[in-house]
Structure 1
């Protein structure tokens, strides 16, 4: 609540106990006496005499009668506290900046009392109620050193205790909100009290649209405090919770056991590299979406927990993410090194999976005299593989599809070592290693599709894929077990089975591309590989491989459970963005109640489209006449159009984030098959929606599509 002037008389009249006419800037009594008026130095003191005084002297806005309730404003914005208004002054321009509307009415007496505030004394200022940290005015550059000294004088545990306290309610329950309290030392309190009165009125009343693009002192101070929070209990808790609720399910796309969203945050308590990898990935995702948190379905009007909010709405998440990534990579380097040497700065440049692959080779294969049990080694391997998966995910987050393949170098060697070790110890990978494998496998074939090169994980290495949990018989045929030897649901088996099949398709495309390059360069493939097969034999082998893949996809589709049927389907949904009642979208809208099934069906249609468009020529069984060939082309076009519509229909149903981040290469492939402008625009909107909502890079796919359409 703003301060109430204790006396409006000038200093001379006040000392002489004379009635002052309060004329500004100099009173007439002093002027008539021929003396210089000393001015109106007003000492403010804070009082609380009920709602009547608050209404008279300050804008008092109360959204809800209940303290702790939050007003829902919208998604994708950063919220301010609604019931804990700043005590020193109104922050209406700041509220407008974050999408919160407040009453900006200010009484004349309050405006008059703010004049000449550069000389205001603060010795009698009292705080009635602690306001949100984000509502505190900026500290001047001269005062920052004293603030930092005050913070440094208190141990980190004091700050952590303050971070754990209940914060005021954010009006936006699903977004990053400033905490109402932060660890305040006496030095910090004094500076905050003083600087809250030192800000000029013109700056206080400035509209959010007129804010200078230059970083203000307030932002600089907030960034300093934010950097001091790196690694603190509250920041780690905030990022860990964000990972568990938002990002973890993306990595558990084909794991009903929820290893990443449930077990990994628990393992991170005693595993520094895993803890920092979680923080790095969560911070980077927040940076990509400009600090906006996604809604996870909790109440919109209830009070959020302290761990759901962050005190600085303008935190440099990218800088924090880089710091945490380096801390995680350094810890992995120390853990995998031979001695107890400190990690160098070059550790952050090396692939985490390559470092872990060397460590696994040394611990599980080379070292025979081990002083720890294999059980402990495999548990440690689970944690390190999970860390590598998170740090690789971190790199893929904002990389172009053409760069994915280089970030996955080393996964083949690491899993080959695990397969070699499991032949002696176990028949299958553990739960954590299995989940990491399927994440790498999915990223592997999508990366290879962009570059048209073979996958790192060889789909013909059946021992590897069997160790990962899917059932492949001696004839290399996949099938779903009703009750398998490991705890893997039928949906997970089907999802991982399609991952193996699509990997085989992508490798088939890479082989076909190599054959084409060999023909263009004038050197036969058989000569380069040393094979004595004739070109006719190679063509027949390619045709057999293509047919075998087609039968594999058809057998897979016939064996999936009923959960792979959509629960909602609209054949011709209306385009609500257009006023015409007859405007229909060119795609259906399809929704699956099971997230795993939605992603799996998208990849199934993607694999079938890739096979349809890359059928090898066969001189024996090819159509004999031109009309037969034309009819064959029409059938292919019709099926490609059908599967493209199905894939886009699932995307239009807005599935869970784990489905959307992996459908970027799929939409890129479908976009090259579609022709109408309306269809192109929908593809572009879907791709850019992924980047806007989730932060996953997609603009490179849009630009590639535009280049393809404009040729």
Structure 2
């Protein structure tokens, strides 16, 4: 949970707070218990002795059923404490209580996300409107408001990333209003009032930070905001009101935006992404590119050998650049066509399609190359969505096998469920081999490039 936070809020401050705050303690224990349950299950399924895990964590006994019980117990306790905090409204008048509550919500979101995401995960994200602190007014001339508490720092960005992932999975707009610039400025995003990212950080923001990694945090947070705008753009489609596109097909208005308007919006997002990439400090540039070295699982030597290993010094930067390549894939795969009223030759359009395909394959291979070289626990868990998006690009069996092994290895090593990603990719590839290029559900909706919403 601290991958994108150089202050390590969740691993350094939250355990201290949890010793005296029952809601936070219950949420932490629920997440830890569920993680251990998944690890015990995977060890058992892999034919390994669960006593190895007992020895590792320093407890006399450890098995899946024991941790299942503790996980359910602490989760139930956390929900009861959370419901009580909401009903009493204690968080409204106390910064400390608000910090505890939202930190617990972020942890419970991670608890749900460890399995196939469902309604319970999205329910926790309903706490997001709590971020709209209308009691704090901004000064007339301040372009950026300094975050004063963790509620508007690491907790905010942790939940913002959860909100973004939920938008991808549920094919719905983000819960957080990306056009509410005061909200995002208050969280530390350096923008002007029109929503354009500033090329530099204002002096007062820089002076408010002691962390040497603040610049890396800042650039990663900026990309999260841009990804949110990309998700909302794709979700909105050609609807005049973005929410209309989430309605059943027969209830949608018949009037929509023309292709020129959609293409203009797409070009703005592409420029935002390009400008962001050009503004990156040197720490976001790969330090080396190598061929795969060392031992790999039997049967996967050739599949891994098809990619370069792309190395970064800082895991945060590796994860951020992987998300950047994911964003490029999503935009390129959803590029609007120019209006048919614009005279264009068939050759010109086909050249455009071929160029887009080459670009998409390049970015998909970058996603996998970054995963092969950067193997910290937090990075690998965060890489699931990018790998899933990249996997849908590949047509070669070796590349597909490599993606499956990368995803399966995350669940095998960390207990973080990826089997539904694997099942969805296999289903997509099978349709591709059968020549079904467009998948539609019973209502005529095209499938998207995000993720399957079915549970494993």
TM-score normalised over the length of structure 2? 0.80
Listed as ranges, the gaps of 5+ residues in structure 2 are 44-54, 140-144, 432-456
| Cα pair 1:405 1:444 within 8 Å, conserved | no
Equivalenced residue count is 406
Structure 1 segment 74-113 matched on structure 2, within 5 A: none
Please give the alpha-carbon distance, in whole angstroms, between the structure 1 residues aligned to 2:57 and 2:164: 35
Listed as ranges, the gaps of 5+ residues in structure 1 are 1-250, 294-305, 339-357, 365-376, 527-534
Please give the alpha-carbon distance, in whole angstroms, between the structure 1 residues aligned to 2:252 and 2:80: 47
| Cα pair 1:598 1:655 within 8 Å, conserved | no
Structure 1 residues 658-681: Cα deviation after superposition (integer angstroms, max 9, x where no partner): 222222222111111100111111
1:331 equivalenced with 2:75 (yes/no): no
1:545 equivalenced with 2:265 (yes/no): yes
Structure 1 residues 273-327: Cα deviation after superposition (integer angstroms, max 9, x where no partner): 111211111111011111899xxxxxxxxxxxx9940111336111111111122
Question: Which of the residues 19, 31, 37 maps onto 1:287?
Answer: 37
Partner residue in 1 for 2:175: 456
**Structure 1 residue 404 displacement after superposition:** 7.4
| Cα pair 1:661 1:696 within 8 Å, conserved | yes
1:255 equivalenced with 2:5 (yes/no): yes
From the superposition, tell whether residues 383 and 579 of structure 1 become closer, same or farther in structure 2 (CA, over 3 Å): closer
> Once superposed, what is the RMSD of the aligned Cα atoms?
3.2
Please give the alpha-carbon distance, in whole angstroms, between the structure 2 residues aligned to 1:404 and 1:686: 27
Partner residue in 2 for 1:406: 122
Structure 1 segment 567-578 matched on structure 2, within 5 A: 567-571=287-291, 576-577=296-297
**Structure 1 residue 697 displacement after superposition:** 1.2
Please give the alpha-carbon distance, in whole angstroms, between the structure 2 residues aligned to 1:607 and 1:665: 11
| Cα pair 2:26 2:74 within 8 Å, conserved | yes
1:423 equivalenced with 2:137 (yes/no): yes
1:558 equivalenced with 2:275 (yes/no): no
Please give the alpha-carbon distance, in whole angstroms, between the structure 2 residues aligned to 1:444 and 1:607: 16
| Cα pair 1:291 1:313 within 8 Å, conserved | no
**Structure 1 residue 272 displacement after superposition:** 1.4
Partner residue in 2 for 1:157: none
Please give the alpha-carbon distance, in whole angstroms, between the structure 2 residues aligned to 1:594 and 1:292: 29
Please give the alpha-carbon distance, in whole angstroms, between the structure 2 residues aligned to 1:493 and 1:681: 35
Partner residue in 2 for 1:311: 60
User: Equivalent residue of 1:290, what SS?
Assistant: helix
Please give the alpha-carbon distance, in whole angstroms, between the structure 2 residues aligned to 1:575 and 1:525: 57
User: Equivalent residue of 1:569, what SS?
Assistant: strand
Please give the alpha-carbon distance, in whole angstroms, between the structure 2 residues aligned to 1:323 and 1:645: 43
Structure 1 segment 171-182 matched on structure 2, within 5 A: none
Question: Which of the residues 306, 313, 317 maps onto 1:593?
Answer: 313
Please give the alpha-carbon distance, in whole angstroms, between the structure 1 residues aligned to 2:412 and 2:56: 24
Question: Which of the residues 23, 27, 47 maps onto 1:273?
Answer: 23
1:468 equivalenced with 2:179 (yes/no): no
1:677 equivalenced with 2:400 (yes/no): no
**Structure 1 residue 591 displacement after superposition:** 2.4
Partner residue in 1 for 2:97: 380
Please give the alpha-carbon distance, in whole angstroms, between the structure 1 residues aligned to 2:254 and 2:163: 25
Partner residue in 2 for 1:495: 220
Partner residue in 2 for 1:397: 114
- Bigger relative contact order, structure 1 or 2, given CA contacts below 8 A and separation 6+? 2
> Whose Rg is larger?
1
**Structure 1 residue 648 displacement after superposition:** 0.7
1:434 equivalenced with 2:148 (yes/no): no
Please give the alpha-carbon distance, in whole angstroms, between the structure 2 residues aligned to 1:615 and 1:685: 30
Partner residue in 2 for 1:120: none
| Cα pair 2:103 2:155 within 8 Å, conserved | yes
Please give the alpha-carbon distance, in whole angstroms, between the structure 1 residues aligned to 2:27 and 2:2: 17
Question: Which of the residues 622, 625, 628 maps onto 2:348?
Answer: 628
From the superposition, tell whether residues 392 and 576 of structure 1 become closer, same or farther in structure 2 (CA, over 3 Å): closer
**Structure 1 residue 512 displacement after superposition:** 1.1
Please give the alpha-carbon distance, in whole angstroms, between the structure 2 residues aligned to 1:269 and 1:610: 43
